[in-house]
Structures are given as structure tokens and as C-alpha cells.
Amino acid sequence: MLFIHRMATTTPITFSLLSNSLRLLTKPSSPFTSSLKNGFSIPTKFYAKKLTSFSLYTTRNGFCSSSAVASPESMEIVTDKDENKLEEGTFSEVRIKLPTNESSEKLLRVRHTCAHVMAMAVQKLYPNAKVTIGPWIENGFYYDFDMDPITDKDLKRIKKEMDRIIGRNLPLVREEVSRDEARKRIMAQNEPYKLEILDSIKEEPITIYHVGDEWWDLCAGPHVDSTGTINRRAIELESVAGAYWRGDVKRPMLQRIYGTAWENEEQLKAYVHFKAEALRRDHRRLGQDLDLFSIEEDAGGGLVFWHPKGAIVRHIIEDTWKKLHIERGYSLLYTPHVAKADLWKISGHLDFYKENMYDQMNIEDELYQLRPMNCPYHILVYKRKMHSYRDLPIKVAELGTVYRYELSGSLHGLFRVRGFTQDDAHIFCLEDQIKDEIRGVLDLTEQILLQFGFHQYEVNLSTRPEKAVGGDDIWEKATSALKDALDDKGWGYEIDEGGGAFYGPKIDLKIEDALGRKWQCSTIQVDFNLPERFDITYVDSKSEKKRPIMIHRAVLGSLERFFGVLIEHYAGDFPLWLSPVQARVLPVTDTQLEYCYEVVSKLKANGIRAEVCHGERLPKLIRNSEKQRIPLMSVVGPREMETQSLTVRSRFGGELGTMSVDDFTSRIKKAAENRSSF
């Protein structure tokens, strides 16, 4: 039972850029092109210029082939404080390390205190505002208020009041009171949400934190000693959004104010730059600008339309995926999008997953269901005949489209949709085959992800939860097999005690993109539940029926989500082998059009994705090609037509000179085949 599509979208701040060369802003010999393992170089002079792009790899159109390494615990940014030295060609580095809440208790205390300071500031400016909860979060903090709607402009007033509170250096004082005393104080303040929070607190005594002697809140801490220890220049209020109390649509709509807080100004600047770069890479905007996909509201929210250019990339992804699976012994399947509802009763989805399934359809007095998973279908294929232990392992794989109900407010581009295609596969094996099969999945996962430029992973092994099916022996054996496979692979991993599914232990793998954000894609899950529910068996060496072990696994997660990650990873600048249009032929005048079409015809005949673009002056044709992220442009003028040649321009390498059509063709084919630059 793969629930991969509903995993967290991103973990945005523990990251490292794979390379720091600044495309279009530095010369090839620039000192900024040095690669840093745990960071990227940003001269401070470029903050104001709003960097337009990063080169992702030393070989830009290829892919990195280094093995998986543990993810860094913090982000490192290298800046230069001496701008005069930059002009002289020297490079003086100052490292800025962005800590996380986990790596810096000081930062966690600052963020938690900032939430209280913000709430105090809001209630000073808006006396009728009622407070609810205000936790620290990954990159800062937020607080929810029951108050009239506010806008981003109001955030400036709130920030100024926060600065005043911080400047007064008010102490943070912890107080322990009885439940009755806490209730008495809350009622005196007429804070109904605090009463509800108090009722949910089971521990005694009740702890209260005071900011000076003017404001307090129910809180367990921790906090800084006084507001003066907070650097007000390292704080920024980011946005305001609506949020239902307790996440319940039937409860009041609250105003949620988000803020970010860091230890110093340099960290804040680095984070602000990171946000700007993430915005530049937003797949929803790039999907529209590059005409890759759309969500057509006339058809319904969360339903993806793949446009021709996006469909080409999907075709390449699918072909790569299928080829590698067939090489590793998987059999490909295609199964229906609907099935009788009884199938989902047997699988347990109607009991455990009904809220995410669409309503059933009545067809000739029988109920049918759009599939939310592919697993039961693959089991039916397995059950079609009796299997011997000699047949195992049996490995089946499918790019299967599934449908899951999501609230409209949770839909998000390609990352949270209602219909998506999983790269689903299932392995039916013997108990003593688990380790080898898991190791094989790890190898295949690495091979596929490397194809697309992902080489840094965070790996987690989740063990038996409190409520689980299957005996202790099989759980222990399966968990040991997962550990042994990871150890054999040489991958570091964290153990999530009790975090496994009720039906078996699992391995989750998060990939890191060019900004170091982590994306849940790959998962491997051992399942003791479905083989029992569907009563699947094999005949062992003693002619007795036994239950096989079932392994669920996905490498990419879903094609839609993975495509969104790819877009943001490359900022729309796909490598040559993956680019929907690899080459664009540009005539200087319409006189060369016929020759241009002949060239494109030859390129297409050799499997190269090429097109002619004309109708504008050459400089504009080149600019338009740049905007569309076309890797290669071939300019054709009178001389090129006369000599049957092309003048080639690379989006990343500039002018490459004049070459024959045959030479141009062979170089593209070789680069695409080797996943390398032109």
C-alpha cells in the first residue's frame, strides 16, 4: 500500500548546492566557478542584483555520478566581504552556516520567543485580537489569531512593534501555576482559545511564560532569557494566511502570521536569497512559461494536462524507467483504472483509506471504484496461477495512474494532485530472499535517480509500530534484512523507531535538489498484510503451501510530482538529453527557411528533437530561445546555406563556431547518449 504521493512536499533549509558557478554573470575563468561540497558561493555584491541562475553541475548538461552521501545538517553559504578584491580576481571567503532547530538550541529558543513577541505586538496594536497557538517551525515561527483580516502591509506595523519590545530587553519569566489558577487568569483575559488549550494539557503543574510583566501565555518553553538577546535585524515577518482553528473547516477561520528568525543578519540575507531562488524555480510558473503542463479548471482541480513539451519529457522518463526495470528482471503490467468495490474491501482500503477515495459508481447493479492504489491489481495477476518456490522472486512493475481525493485547498501544482501516475512495483519473494531483493531495489533506485541528476539522499529506516500485523519473528527478520541491505550498500541511515507501517518495516529515501531541499520520492515497504488478506501462496520444497513476502516499492514516487521536482531542480534548464527541444534552427532571413527545414528534417531523422523558429529579427529569435531554455541554437545565414553548414550557439557555452550538419548531428547524439554536455 503505497501512500507516497501524500508525503511532505519539501524540507527547505538543510541543503547544499552542487555547484556555484554563476551562469551569464561570470566568465568561465571566474573564481566563482569552484565547486563546494557543502555550499555555494554568493558574492555579497550580487545580492542586490538578484542572481538569475545557477549552473547545477561542473558538466552542465550531464549528470553527477558520485555515490549517495549523508545529507548535511545545515546549509553553508560562502560570501565575499571585500568587493574590491573581487574586481582584482581574488576571492576572500566568509562562511555563513545556516543552522536548523535541531542543530542549534539557541536558534530554537529565539524562534519560539519571537512567536511570543509577535503575539504581544499584535495584541498591543489590535486589542480585540484573540491568541491561539504560536510554535516554532522549520525556518521560523507563526502565530494564529482570531481577529479581523490583515494584509501584508500590516506586517510592517507589527514588525516595528516587535522591534520596540525587543529593544526594551524584557525578561522571559517561567511560572508554574495550578490548573484552577490558570483557568482563572485566562477567563479574566477573555481568551476562549486559551481555555481550550488548557483543557488539552494533561500535565501538572501548568507552566506560563511572561514577557516582562505585560504579557503571558501558556507555554512549556524553551525561550531566551530576555528579548534583548534577539537580533531584531535577523527577523522578518513573511506573510499572512488563513487557517482553520485546529485544522477543522467547521471551526473559525484564523489569521496566521508567518515569520522567519535567525541568529544574525548574514543568515537572514542568505535565507532571503534562498527564498528568491526557490521562487525563481517555482514549477507552477515555469510550467506555464515553458508550456509544459497546466491544471484546467474547466476539467477540475488537481487534474494535470501534459502539454506537448511536458509530454516529451514524460516520455523520456517513462522510457528510461521501463528500460532499466526490464534489464533488472521486472515484468511490465498495464491494469484497469477501476475495479469492483469488493476488491478494495478485501485490501482494506475501504476501511483505512476511504476518506481519500472517490465515491463508488453503480454499473449494472454492481459497485465500482476508481483505484487509489495499484497493489491489489498486481496481487490478482500473481494469483492467476499456482507458483512454486522455484518461481520466486516474481517482480512486476507498472506506471499506474491512481485517483485520490484531496481537498481543493491542499492542491499544489504537480506536488499535490487528484490524479497521478505512480511508478509502482511489487516483488513476491521468500523470507530468505528479502535482503537480496531490497539490495537490488537500492541499486536500481540509485541507478535511476543518477540518470536524472540526483545523487544526495537522506535515508530513513522505519521499524515496527505499536499496532502491527505479523509475528515478532518475521518483523525482526524483515527489519534485519533491510538493515543488512543498507549496510551492504554502504548508505548511512537514520532509524525511525516505531515509524513503520502497520503491515511491515520500510525504507524511505528523500532526494536533495539543487537548493538542498529534500523531496520524499523513493520508498521500499515490506508487507505481511496483503498476502494474508488476499490469501496468496506458493508451494515450497515439501509441497506445502506457504505465504510469500510482498515488497512494495516506488523510485520516483509519482511522475507528476517527480516532474515538478525536476523542473525546480533544473530551474527549467533541462540537460540536453532531457530537454523537450534540443536544438532550434534560426534563419537570418526567410531566404534561408527552406534550408532550415531540411536541416531540421535531418536532425529529426536522427532522433534529435529540433524545430525551426522564424518571423522575427535574429536577436529576438535568440532571446526567445534563451527564454524557452533551448540548449542549442543553430544560426543560418547566406554563408551557412552556401556551405551547407551551421553556426552553433550554446545556451551555456556561448558561440561554438561553424560546423557541418553531420558534425552537429553526431555531437548531439553522442552527448545525449552519454548524458554529457555538447
**Catalytic residue numbers?**
375, 404, 422, 424, 426, 506, 552
| Residue 349 CB contacts under 8 Å (≥ 6 apart), including other chains | 1, 357, 372, 373
- Helices 179-189 and 192-200, axial angle in degrees (round to 10): 160
Cell of 672: 545525449
Residue 175 backbone dihedrals phi, psi, to 5 degrees: -135, 140
| Beta strand segments in 80-190, E | 94-98, 130-131, 136-137, 140-146, 172-177
Phi-psi region of 377 (alpha: psi -120 to 50; beta: other; left: phi over 0): alpha
Q: What element of type H or E holds 446?
A: helix 434-451
Query: Cis (ω within 30 of 0) for the bond into 222?
Result: yes
Q: Which residues contact 141 (CB under 8 A, 6 or more apart)?
A: 111, 112, 114, 115, 118, 134, 135, 258, 259, 260, 261
* Vertex 361 angle, CA 358 and 366, to 5°: 135
Nearest to 456 by CA among 505, 395, 359, 522: 522
Q: Which amino acid is at 627?
A: K
Cβ–Cβ < 8 Å for 370, 337? yes
- Identity of the residue numbered 155: L
Question: ∠ CA 141-103-72 to the nearest 5 degrees?
Answer: 110
How far, in Å, CA of 64 to CA of 71, rounded?
16
Q: CB count, 10 Å around CB of 322?
A: 15
Instruction: Decide if 34 contacts 15 (C-beta within 8 A).
Output: no
Compute the distance between CA of residue 305 and CA of residue 317 in angstroms, rounded to an integer: 17
Question: Among residues 393, 356, 396, which one has the least CA distance to residue 373?
Answer: 356
The runs of H, that is alpha helices, within 490-615 are 530-533, 559-570, 593-605
For residue 363, give the 3-state DSSP assignment: strand
Radius of gyration from C-alpha coordinates of the chain: 29
Cis amide leading into 393 (omega within 30): yes
Residues in the chain: 678
